[in-house]
């Protein structure tokens, strides 16, 4: 099968349009603002290279999610840019696409890029069916885990309906997974387990104190103030960690201690950036 490079065709279309309308354009910022409208015009214009079909009509003629997914995998395998319109068509088919996308996502033989695309498409569809699997991935996740990161974004998008299952998973998760789950759960105050888990990690992982302080500040539980104040007063505190601690303390209504960091390389580097 020949995989049409829609991105290149759009670039050709855009350049031709800009050349034709160059007298009407003021600057590059105006061109950038027009990009969505230009893409919409491209998508709905009959194209000679599609036998005078529009790009939108080309994909709308494909009513099978399975066929679209096969085409998606073909594009990825052929190293041709994946058309946005193909992905938009999968989302447009909504519930029809849900199970085929999940089948591909949970096939561990599938290319990782394709699996991450499935996570994004299922999120765009609004699917909550993968929720349990996404949480399980957090429980055993590693520090650098792109698929788990994508899944975490989807859990955040699912909102409060994902909270009970995420709370249950906190005790099972390793430290990396617990931190990931708390990054979402810190948006939902009122669950004692969230505060307790955050404080436990804050004590256990001083190297992660900056991000964990941010989560404590977001949670809004004033009980964290003494812990944050104590850490903000510690000797050897790095400037960038202090900045996050101070922000969390102020978010909780406290006043952070004034510190000097004249011998901190991070502080010197940042101050150097501000020098004329």
Per DSSP, the three-state class of 47 is strand
Checking if the pLDDT of 130 tops 80, the result is yes
* pLDDT band at 274; cut points 50, 70, 90: low
Checking if the pLDDT of 162 tops 80, the result is yes
Distance between CA atoms of residues 81 and 206, nearest Å:
43
User: Which of these ranges, 17-31, 183-197, 219-233, has the smallest mean pLDDT?
Assistant: 17-31
* pLDDT band at 28; cut points 50, 70, 90: confident
Q: Are 85 and 6 in contact (CB under 8 A)?
A: yes
Checking if the pLDDT of 15 tops 70, the result is yes
Query: Residue 224 has what DSSP assignment?
Result: G
Q: What is the pLDDT of residues 91-124, one digit of tens each?
A: 999 999 999 999 999 999 999 999 999 999 999 9
User: Across all residues in the chain, what is the average pLDDT?
Assistant: 93
**Tokens 């909780």 — which residue?**
252
Distance between CA atoms of residues 59 and 87, nearest Å:
10
Q: What is the model's pTM?
A: 0.88
Per DSSP, the three-state class of 140 is coil
Q: What is the pLDDT of residues 137-150, one digit of tens each?
A: 999 999 899 999 99
The pLDDT score that the predictor gives to residue 170 is 96
The pair of three-digit structure tokens given for residue 105, joined into one six-digit string: 């996502």
The crossing angle, in degrees rounded to 10, of helices 209-219 and 225-232 is 150
Distance between CA atoms of residues 41 and 272, nearest Å:
47
The pLDDT score that the predictor gives to residue 259 is 87
Q: What is the pLDDT of residues 245-265, one digit of tens each?
A: 999 999 999 999 998 887 778
Q: What is the largest CA-CA distance in the chain?
A: 72
Looking from the CA of 17 toward its CB, the CA atoms found within 13 Å total 16
How far, rounded to the nearest angstrom, does the alpha carbon of residue 65 sit from its chain's CA centroid?
24
The pLDDT score that the predictor gives to residue 143 is 87
Distance between CA atoms of residues 205 and 77, nearest Å:
41
Q: What is the pLDDT of residues 45-60, one digit of tens each?
A: 999 999 999 999 999 9
Q: Are 91 and 105 in contact (CB under 8 A)?
A: no
* pLDDT band at 275; cut points 50, 70, 90: low
The pLDDT score that the predictor gives to residue 272 is 62
């Amino acid at each position: 099968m020949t995989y049409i490079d829609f991105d290149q065709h759009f670039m050709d279309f855009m350049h031709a349009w800009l050349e034709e309308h160059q007298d009407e354009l003021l600057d590059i910022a105006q061109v950038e603002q027009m990009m969505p409208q230009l893409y919409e015009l491209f998508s709905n214009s009959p194209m000679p290279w599609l036998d005078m079909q529009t790009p939108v009509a080309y994909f709308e003629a494909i009513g099978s999610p399975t066929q679209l997914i096969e085409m998606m995998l073909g594009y990825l395998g052929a190293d041709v840019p994946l058309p946005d319109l193909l992905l938009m068509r999968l989302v447009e088919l909504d519930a029809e696409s849900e199970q085929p996308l999940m089948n591909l996502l949970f096939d561990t033989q599938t290319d990782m890029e394709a699996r991450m695309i499935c996570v994004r498409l299922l999120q765009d569809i609004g699917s909550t069916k993968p929720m349990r699997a996404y949480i399980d991935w957090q429980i055993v996740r590693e520090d650098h885990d792109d698929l788990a990161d994508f899944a975490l974004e989807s859990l955040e998008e699912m909102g409060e309906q994902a909270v009970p299952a995420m709370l249950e998973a906190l005790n099972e998760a390793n430290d990396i997974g617990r931190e990931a789950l708390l990054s979402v759960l810190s948006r939902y105050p009122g669950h004692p387990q969230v505060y307790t888990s955050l404080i436990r990690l804050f004590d256990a992982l001083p190297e992660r104190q900056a991000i964990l302080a941010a989560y404590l500040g977001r949670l809004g539980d004033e009980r964290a103030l003494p812990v944050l104040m104590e850490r903000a007063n510690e000797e050897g505190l790095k400037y960038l960690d202090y900045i996050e601690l101070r922000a969390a303390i102020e978010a909780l209504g406290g006043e952070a201690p004034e510190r000097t960091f004249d011998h901190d390389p991070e502080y010197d580097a940042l101050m150097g950036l501000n020098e004329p």
